[in-house]
Chains A and B, each alone.
Chain A
Amino acid sequence: MKLPRLFYKADLLILPVIVLCAFVIGLLPHRTKGTVAVIAVGGSTVAVIDLQQEQQALSVMGAEGFLFSVQNGSISVIQSPCDGKDCCHMPPIAAQGQWIFCLPMQLSVTVITEDQIPSATPDAVIG
């Protein structure tokens, strides 16, 4: 009995296309949920906030005049000393890479994962 051929020459052309599609779809950005938020003023980190610990009105040393809210793994700015208050109108951010920026006060809030915490933050303090 003669078995049917699985592939014909023309069929092989489609294989690279399928593999390429798989890679492209696989490499599409996934929105990973962040675990911490880095608050920076003028480019310098002033605080790293744990997004798992809910806080209604969090004030941060080095970012005076601002208040942050941490709810359900997300963070938002709820009070700002700037004039426009655009940062206060931004929706809460929770996904890795999302950010809120207050241009007048040069404050940024960026959600990252713990393994992305700037290395200058000490791993431990002894004494």
Chain B
Amino acid sequence: MISLKKKVLFSFFLLSHGMLCLLTGCADQGADAVQRQSIFAMDTMFSMTAVTEDTSLLSDCAAMLQQLSHDLDHRQADSLLTDLHTKRSLTCPDDTLPRLLRETAALQASYGTAVQLTCKPLTDLWGIATDTPYLPTDEEILAAKSRINDAHITVSGNTVTLADGALLELGAVAKGYALDRLAERLQQGNTAYAVVSASSAVMLYGQKPDGTPFTLQITDPADGGILGTVTIGHDSPQQITMVGTSGGYARYSEINGTRYSHVMDLETGAPTTSDLASVTVICQNGLMADFLSTTLYLGGTDGLTSITDNNWMYLAVDRKGDCFYSPQLEFTKGTVTPA
């Protein structure tokens, strides 16, 4: 027969084991910690928030952004892009640049060539949003325009070749592309939730801890206030929403009293005179959001519905403050007062 002492000891064992299981369960639930990190890259502050068990996730993302910012910047003397501009044909160490070029070419095939990556001669000529903006002559504009044609870019594997004096300016799609690359790292890190905000490009990843939809405030191009709020719900834990905004209100130059947008109309060879003040595109791909927001912005109000399909939604505001948006977009105009 088992003694009373042994029974008491066994009871304590059961009790402590039960407690241990409960406490371990609590610890597991709390293991996903909120991480935050900010980094200045691509002339913008990237603010990153993530809920994940992967403790190196955001530091890895920051390192990726630094590398992308360096590689894709034509102003850096030792960047990949500068190397390509010098050598005219370059086998890249990885698929970062070739992939960006291929994905952009695919979008151009579907949505047109209003955005071209070979626009550098024109942006350099005008110098909008730099310290030395310049009003060029018609002859200078024509000369610059003659070098703009993305057909002059050839990508074969990881080898990129530029023909006919083509020079690349990737600002129109670089931030969105960077978000796409970060999304891949988030997926590897088993991320439950993340928000990466880079001024005109935002990534919403996964599902919020409280289960509510994401809310995204759209800046009013008229005064920098809040135009309204877009609500975005995710049905699955790894769903991704990418958002890109284009407009001429944040980056511009004044020459002889006239304000010129930094977004170039490649048809005219001059800064756009679009009747839109800003366009925001919401979709599942960052590069696509950047590309389409600029394409729609350049097309003006008349072009808003010309390329619409079910892969993305848009929100546009014209210079008078009138809003136009996809019927399926959950948009509330005005500031939402916190609950």
A residues with a Cβ closer than 8 A to B are: 4-6, 11, 14-15, 18-19, 21-23, 25-26, 30, 35, 44-45, 114-116, 118-127
Contact = CB atoms under 8 A, between A and B. Distances in A.
Nearest to B16: A22
A21 B17 CA distance: 12
Nearest to B289: A126
Interface string B40-62: 00000000000100000000000
User: How many interface residues does chain B have, given as a range?
Assistant: 35 or more
Given A23-B18, A124-B216, 12 more contacts: A6-B2, A30-B26, A120-B337, A122-B216, A123-B195, A125-B216, A126-B218, A126-B219, A127-B199, A127-B200, A127-B219, A127-B220
Contact of A11 (B7, B19, B278): B7
A126 B44 CA distance: 12
B339 A118 contact: yes
Contacts of B19: 22, 25-26
Contacts of B210: 115-116, 119
By Cβ-Cβ distance, the 5 closest A-B pairs, closest first, are A127-B219, A22-B18, A115-B209, A26-B22, A45-B338
Interface in B243-297: 243, 245, 247, 250, 278, 280
B339 A45 contact: yes
A14 B14 CA distance: 11
B218 A18 contact: no
B1 interface: yes
B337 A15 contact: no
A116 B339 CA distance: 12
A124 B1 contact: no
Given A18-B11, A22-B18, A26-B23, A122 B217 contact: yes
A4 B1 contact: yes
B34 A35 contact: yes
Contact of B216 (A21, A30, A123): A123
Nearest to A46: B338
Given A120-B215, A122-B217, A127 B247 contact: yes
B15 A127 contact: no
Contacts of A23: 18, 22
Given A22-B18, A115-B34, A125 B339 contact: no
A127 B218 contact: yes
B204 A123 contact: yes
Contact of B202 (A14, A15, A21, A124): A124
Nearest to A22: B18
Contacts of A26: 18-19, 22-23, 26
Given A121-B338, A123-B204, A4 B219 contact: no
Contacts of B250: 127
A44 B209 CA distance: 22
Contact of B339 (A14, A15, A115, A119): A119
Choose among A21, A30, A114, A126 the residue with the greatest number of B CB atoms under 10 Å from its CB.
A126
Nearest to A6: B2
A126 B216 contact: yes
Contacts of B280: 126-127
B163 interface: no
A18 B9 CA distance: 13
Nearest to A40: B338
B203 to A, nearest CB: 9
A122 B337 contact: no
A114 B18 CA distance: 30
Contacts of A124: 195, 197, 202, 204, 214, 216-217, 243
A30 B199 CA distance: 39
Interface in B69-120: none
B201 interface: yes
Contacts of B219: 125-127
Contacts of A14: 11
A120 B336 contact: yes
Contacts of B200: 126-127
14 contacts: A15-B14, A18-B11, A18-B18, A19-B14, A21-B15, A25-B19, A26-B18, A114-B34, A118-B338, A119-B208, A124-B202, A125-B197, A126-B219, A127-B221
B14 A18 contact: yes
